[in-house]
Amino acid sequence: MAKDLIKHNPGTNSIQPRGKGGIQAYNPSIPGSQASGFSNQNSPMGDMWYSAVMKNLAQGRWQDAESAFERLLKFAPGSTHIHDAKIAMAEFWMKQLDSHLAAGSLNIESLNPEKPIPDGRTKWNHIPTETAERTEACAEKVLEYNPSRREEVFYRMSRYWETQKNYWMIQTSKALSAENTLELDRAIGYFVKYDGKLNASATLSAGYSSNLLTPGTSRAHHYYDILGVGPKASFEDIKRAYYREAKKVHPDLNRTTEAHERFIELCRAYDTLKDPEKRRAYDAQGVI
């Protein structure tokens, strides 16, 4: 839940400013966010709770706005205000999403599809884990209130995931070179996570799933063959095989496309087979 991930001032329910200039307050004049007037379909109760939603959004009181929206649904389920309230809530969370991306130094201007991705994208600052969780929570909220904005969310999040993936690939390479098993396992976990999200979101044009932020179940490759071990290999065998093969295609030593793809395959295989639960699921069903 977003309310568990986004810091707020307990006394005011307001979101704390983040990034340069802080989070922008919601602008109630956004297109489509205002009702065209109180029609006969709207009861006084619906009018009251819709006004409460808009007032709290304007003040940045997102928890109070969500509570008011829940009451709008409960006490005026047929109100024409519900549509307008959803649009307003989605716009509010989209602005928070942009703010969190900016706070992580992922320049929103770079998200313009008419502009090419700059070279040296790995020079973009990595978004800290805490901010990353809030970023994804905001994206989930946009889709919850207005699924029709999925392409906008997809575009922002795909660049964000790519930045995260690149960062963790670098950390994986560093841990591999240092033979730091603990840091390697952590880095590979994040690297595979964001790589999986990118692969899942790439299916948008083919058919959008209900939740862009949760990778769908993917058919696993022959992970044992990728690592060059048998199905009964021990954890130590799997670990040695990963180190041996990954060093051959280390991004710092081999910058070919084939090596990059091979490195990703090795990370996916290792991340699955080193984890007892993931390995059991893979062995039983052939999926992760």
* CATH of residue 278: 1.10.287.110
pLDDT band at 146 (very low <50, low <70, confident <90, very high): very high
Q: Which of 156, 186, 214 is the last residue of a domain?
A: 156
**Residue 283 predicted with pLDDT over 60:** yes
In a domain, 213, yes or no: no
In a domain, 206, yes or no: no
Q: Which of 135, 156, 177 is the last residue of a domain?
A: 156
Query: Which of 117 and 75 is assigned the larger pLDDT?
Result: 75
| DSSP string of 20-69, one letter each residue | TT-PPPP-TTSTT-S-SS--TTS-HHHHHHHHHHHHHHHTT-HHHHHHHH
The pair of three-digit structure tokens given for residue 9, joined into one six-digit string: 């001032």
Q: Verify that 8 and 118 share a domain, yes or no.
A: yes
pLDDT of residue 187: 87
Q: Verify that 233 and 152 share a domain, yes or no.
A: no
- Average pLDDT of the chain to the nearest whole number: 74
Question: Domain containing 265: what range?
Answer: 223-285
The pair of three-digit structure tokens given for residue 17, joined into one six-digit string: 């400013």
Query: Contact, 154 vs 109, CB < 8 A?
Result: no
The number of folded domains in the chain is: 2
Q: Which of 111, 132, 156 is the last residue of a domain?
A: 156
Q: Global pTM?
A: 0.59
pLDDT digits (tens, 9 = 90+) for 58-74: 999 999 999 999 999 99
Query: Contact, 239 vs 166, CB < 8 A?
Result: no
Helix (H, G, I), strand (E, B) or coil at 195: helix
- HSE (side-chain half, CA atoms, 13 Å) at 130: 4
**Residue 226 predicted with pLDDT over 80:** yes
Whose tokens are 């793809």? That residue is 261
Buried b (16+ CB within 10 A) or exposed e, 135-165: bbbbbbbbbebbeebbebbbebbbbbbbbbb
In a domain, 108, yes or no: yes
Q: Verify that 148 and 229 share a domain, yes or no.
A: no
In a domain, 193, yes or no: no
CA distance linking residue 227 with residue 186, whole number of Å: 19
- What is the average per-residue pLDDT within 195-206? 62
Q: Verify that 23 and 106 share a domain, yes or no.
A: yes
**Residue 251 predicted with pLDDT over 60:** yes
- What is the average per-residue pLDDT within 246-274? 85
Q: Verify that 145 and 70 share a domain, yes or no.
A: yes
In a domain, 80, yes or no: yes
Name the percent of the chain in helix, strand, coil, to the closest 5: 60, 0, 35
pLDDT of residue 38: 37
